[in-house]
């Protein structure tokens, strides 16, 4: 009997996220849109990040108004992935966490607490140089934390690093920033492409940075953040006359949100596939996922060998706890 992926927040002894003996290809596609009940609050909760973690224990980090009320700040809650008859997310106690070298409590706490302040903090994204990007084993074991804030008025992309010299930052990601609003960076596995959204030309569009000479044997935090040769372009295949925001790349699939004509109402989730070096025409995720309200900042967590793309996103649809809430569902089959 096929099993369904469960993202639970309950204390259990074992996790199957990266268990090589577990047949994740037998996972049943999650058709339902499931609210993350234990993470949601009466305040706005959105912009989530679920970093890769070999133990299956994770920290779901997201923007929320539950603490400061007037501002979105980052909160982080320990969680666990497991497989059972139903896919869900539930909290676990910190004492139940098996720590690893990517998203342990100290790292997550330092990143989130340093980023927070009396301003809005959006779009967290955690990257392990060794696990999330191609590497040859000599790549520095750095963990990078990206986000955007409006502490100086417009939205700017910033980053922090946990590396050989401890914690460093925050720094402005000057490669991506402009005089307007910039946010939501996402990265190719080879480290040669960075996508983000910006309204530097008026409305929000999706932009691509191509890094010349990138490769697994030359990848480092310095070459990734401050490449010597690069080119930036607006991705015309994904952009429209409306607002196109919050790109998230996993493999050859890009998800993003847009309020372009032809949608279900508000901002909808769209996806596109990279085929022969070009992005396919964006597809609306449809009535199963989108509503006449607003869907926002979809992410595709790294679930290797699972047979569909699990997606976490936020929405202000009726039936939630209040404002924007976090939800999850299956996007499309992977094979």
Per-residue pLDDT for the chain (335 aa), expressed as one digit of tens each? Answer: 333 344 443 323 333 333 433 344 446 788 899 999 989 999 999 999 988 655 556 788 999 999 999 999 999 988 876 655 455 556 765 545 444 444 556 788 899 999 999 999 999 999 988 778 777 766 677 899 999 999 999 999 999 999 888 999 999 999 999 999 999 999 998 889 999 999 999 999 999 999 987 665 567 788 888 998 999 999 999 999 999 999 999 999 999 999 999 999 999 999 999 999 999 999 999 999 999 999 999 999 887 667 788 899 999 999 999 999 999 999 998 76
What is the DSSP track for 168-206? EEEEE-TTT--SS-EEEEEE-TTSSEEEEEEEEESEEEE
CB 331 within 8 A of CB 255: yes
What is the DSSP track for 84-130? ESS----B--GGG----SSS-HHHHHHHHHHH-SSS-EEEEEEEETT
The closest of 251, 246, 305, 250 to 270, measured between CA atoms, is 246
pLDDT digits (tens, 9 = 90+) for 185-222: 999 988 899 999 999 999 999 999 999 876 655 677 88
Domain boundaries, the chain: 4-333
**Whole-model pTM above 0.85?**
yes
The correct CATH number of 4-333 out of 3.30.360.10, 2.120.10.30, 2.60.120.620, 2.60.34.10 is 2.120.10.30
3-state secondary structure of 164: coil
């Amino acid at each position: 009997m096929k099993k369904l992926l469960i993202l639970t927040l309950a204390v259990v002894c074992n996790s199957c996220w990266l268990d090589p003996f577990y047949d994740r290809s037998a996972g049943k596609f999650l058709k339902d849109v499931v609210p993350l009940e234990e993470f949601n609050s009466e305040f706005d909760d959105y912009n989530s990040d679920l970093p890769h973690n070999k133990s299956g224990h994770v920290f779901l980090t997201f923007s929320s108004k539950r603490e400061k009320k007037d501002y979105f700040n980052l909160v982080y809650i320990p969680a666990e992935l497991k497989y059972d008859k139903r896919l869900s997310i539930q909290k676990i106690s910190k004492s139940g966490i098996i720590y690893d070298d990517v998203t342990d409590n100290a790292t997550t706490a330092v990143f989130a607490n340093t980023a927070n302040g009396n301003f809005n903090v959006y779009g967290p994204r955690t990257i392990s140089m060794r696990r999330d990007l191609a590497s040859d084993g000599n790549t520095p074991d750095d963990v990078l934390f990206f986000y955007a804030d409006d502490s100086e008025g417009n939205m700017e992309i910033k980053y922090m690093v946990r590396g050989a010299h401890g914690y460093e930052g925050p720094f402005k990601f000057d490669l991506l920033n402009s005089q307007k609003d910039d946010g939501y960076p996402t990265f190719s596995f080879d480290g040669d492409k960075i996508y983000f959204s910006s309204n530097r030309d008026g409305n929000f569009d999706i932009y691509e940075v191509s890094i010349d000479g990138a490769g697994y044997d030359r990848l480092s935090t310095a070459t990734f953040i401050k490449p010597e040769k690069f080119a930036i372009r607006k991705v015309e295949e994904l952009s429209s006359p409306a607002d196109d925001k919050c790109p998230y790349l996993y493999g050859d699939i890009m998800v993003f949100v847009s309020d372009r004509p032809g949608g279900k109402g508000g901002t909808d989730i769209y996806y596109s596939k990279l085929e022969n070096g070009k992005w396919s025409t964006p597809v609306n995720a449809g009535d199963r996922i989108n509503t006449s309200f607003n869907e926002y900042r979809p992410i595709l967590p790294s679930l290797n060998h699972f047979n569909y793309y699990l997606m976490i996103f936020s929405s202000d649809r009726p039936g939630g706890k209040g404002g924007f809430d976090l939800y999850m569902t299956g996007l499309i089959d992977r094979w």
